[in-house]
Structure 1
Amino acid sequence: MDPARPGSEDWLVGNPTRGQLAAALWIGSVGLLILGLQPVLLGALFTQGHVGGDELALVATAELITIGIGSATVAMALSARNMRRKSTILLLLLALANMWTAYAANANMLIAARAVAGFAEGGLVAVATELIARSRRAERIGGYFVSLQTLAQCVLALLLALAVIPAYGASGGFVTLAVVCGLSVAVARAVPDDYADLPKDEHFANVLTPGAITALLCIFCYFMFFGSVWAFLEPLGAQYGIDGRTVGLIVSASLAAQILGAMTATVFEARIDYRLAITAVGIVAVLACVTLASGPALTTFWAAALAMGFILLFIVPYQIRLAITSDETRTTALLVPAAQLFGLALGPVAASLLIEEVDFRAVPEFAAASVIASIALLGLFVALTRRRVVA
């Protein structure tokens, strides 16, 4: 990708080949593998006695917060230069952090290891999102990105749940992730080395507006919903008499539903107004949360988990459109992953404060409240946008 080359009809600046785009999207996908694997890996840590309920939330939160920090730091504070070298360094750092996790001696070491892993993962995410932001069809490329990452999560979740963890425990799962990072170093050589600069003003000035802040908060609250339920899916299932192996299969099926949701959104993203899509997804999310809080049977639990999986990534292209609408320089769009990840991180912590002993039903109740807040923020954003147009 030549930084000096003007944008083509598909790109605002630069003109990466399909191979370069695919490489960047894969590198970002490696950074987000943990999102689909957390219920399996953290569930194994919990059932094997490595962490308690509160420590489980802290491990999940430490990693997701540092993913958000790493994503925002690389996207906003560092130049989009030498991306092959940066990708390689981040992959190797993540591989080491995964090996550290596999042999961590206590909960504090686990938290530290996952915090380091999270920062490296966030940097890898930025490798993809920086390139996506330069596309004239950022929503469509974003749909491809979430489809690829979720397909990888689905395959690995099945491998871990059915083969690796039963034989080698949670440690084997993290060693597997380290191997994936090592193999991905070869792909990093195909990433465009220098991304062309976006034509935009000062970074942070474009984000510090009421519309941009409201858009990011809307995204943040939606992902708080999913993060809270996702982190506690195995304990919640256990409360209803569903064993860990079955929950692992449900997680894998939910990841497959996420792929379907992402692909569906990629096809229909230009035909559905983002405001309608976000509202409709919010209604489905609330219904799923109510179902999970009501003590469902196994079949109903499956249905709620699959519905949540489908809508999770179906909404992402529309959230990208929301961010671009709030800030046409696309600076805010670079922070969408950070908003999503902070929501995923803080959701489990906030929900854990409501848990009473072994009763986890407050988790989906909190998740429903988060979705309602997200829809309310969308309404506020629409009002602010109309006022701006009138002005």
Structure 2
Amino acid sequence: MAPVQSSSPHSSDWLVGNPTRIQQWAALWIGSAGLQILGLQPILLGALYSEKRVNFDELALIATAEFITIALGSVIAGMLISTRHLRIKSAVLLAALAVLDFAVSYATTPNELLLVRSLAGFVEGGTVAISIELIARSRHAERLGGFFISLQTLAQCILAAILALWVVPAMGSSGGFHVLAIVCLGSLAISALVPGEYGELPKQPSNMDGVFSVRAILALLVIFTFFLFIGSLWAFLEPLGALYAIDAQTVGLLVSASLAFQVLGAVCATWIDRHLDYRLSIILCVLAAIAASAILADHPSISMFWAAALVIAFLWMFITPYQIGLAVVADSSRSTALLIPAAQILGAALGPLAASVFITNDNVGIVPWFGIGALLCSLGLFGMFLMFSRRRAITV
């Protein structure tokens, strides 16, 4: 099977290779299929809790463990697994994930569920690497990243409605995980359309870039701290609603609506990525997130609570393509871009844990202030990144 790259001049859209449009969408779908759990976890783990298969602490542990292993899996796959024989690797990852999704039905104890979902996280991280490796090779990584998050979020939105309205009420948590397994098995046909290989990224031995450069580390910390804010606010959204006398059903409806706003954010970012500089976009997003957090901290009305939460949902996906642009500018070798999912998911996973340190007497009113602190850290780190970038431009 012919590899994607050739000895002929490469397309102006790609650093290496020239995948067809179908190959691009196929590769983006592999990671999207693996990341469906991110949008569906509240429904699926909530069903496990309702069925008394796990208690609240066990649910939180399973959710956090799967997030962390997704991040680790994406790093391990991106750094250690070659980008050859991608069709076979995509198929193996999807098949393994389907088996693990089906295995949830046979897990009889919380520890077994923890093991199954942790292993699933590693595999899901591997599927993400298939997509991120493609994005890293595009000269328009921000735009392709926008397509990636638009695809996965739209699929999550559709599946969330199907699971919440029909599957989980009729077949419980096992039925929900079976749907995920069926999605993976159905995606095996798409794995045949993935590029056979991506080709090695061009080596640039004369530059000072790389994952361990100051700029790359600062870029990853900017992303990590922003997602500390996302994870903390989203995990405590229902308790925050209860604090302001907003019932759980209303907050649940808000979470469903937020998926649509995440899709909107992803689509808008993809549409306008060429017209908005990544620096301006990141600063505006952080400032808007601070404003939304301040609203949530100030005993908002129901309408203001909804508005703030939907703004956060929109920013969640809108900022991602520009974070990809940040990573590409930080490290022209594109190695840092491969670590973006790890930085985002680790931030989202550790956000609730970090915020909980400041909660006393179950008063979650401190959480929006923690979010503001995380955002100010992100903004400060971004300022440091810009200063280092300017200093390097002057000295080069």
Runs of 5+ consecutive residues of structure 2 not aligned to the other structure: none
2:35 is aligned, of 32, 35, 38, to 32
Alignment coverage as a number of residue pairs: 391
Alignment pair present for 1:105 and 2:105: no
- Residue 293 of structure 1: aligned partner: 297
Cα shift readout 1:224-265 (whole Å, capped 9, x = no counterpart): 111222233344444545455443432222111111111111
CA contact (8 A) 1:39 1:234 kept: no
Alignment pair present for 1:141 and 2:151: no
Identity %: 54
- Residue 338 of structure 2: aligned partner: 334
- Residue 5 of structure 2: aligned partner: 3
Runs of 5+ consecutive residues of structure 1 not aligned to the other structure: none
Structure 2 Cα separation of the partners of residues 205 and 114 of structure 1 = 36
CA contact (8 A) 1:66 1:115 kept: yes
Alignment pair present for 1:95 and 2:67: no
1:366 is aligned, of 370, 389, 393, to 370
Distance 1:69 1:286, change over 3 A: same
Q: How well do the aligned residues superpose, as a CA RMSD in angstroms?
A: 2.2
CA contact (8 A) 1:54 1:352 kept: no
Distance 1:368 1:166, change over 3 A: farther
- Residue 344 of structure 1: aligned partner: 348
Structure 2 Cα separation of the partners of residues 356 and 91 of structure 1 = 43
CA contact (8 A) 1:14 1:195 kept: yes
Q: Determine helix, strand or coil for the equivalent of 1:206.
A: coil
- Within-5 A mapping of 1:143-162: 143-162=146-165
CA contact (8 A) 1:158 1:249 kept: no
CA contact (8 A) 2:78 2:338 kept: yes
Offset, 1:205: 7.1
Q: Taking structure 2 as the reference length, what is the TM-score of the superposition?
A: 0.92
- AA matched with 1:251: V
Alignment pair present for 1:281 and 2:282: no
* 351-360 or 207-216, which deviates more: 351-360
CA contact (8 A) 1:40 1:248 kept: no
- Residue 73 of structure 2: aligned partner: 70
* 2-11 or 23-32, which deviates more: 2-11
Offset, 1:343: 0.9
Alignment pair present for 1:389 and 2:393: yes
CA contact (8 A) 1:161 1:249 kept: no
Structure 1 Cα separation of the partners of residues 345 and 315 of structure 2 = 16
CA contact (8 A) 1:26 1:149 kept: yes
CA contact (8 A) 2:292 2:308 kept: yes
Offset, 1:207: 0.7
Cα shift readout 1:284-331 (whole Å, capped 9, x = no counterpart): 112222333344443333222211111111111111111111111111
- Residue 381 of structure 2: aligned partner: 377
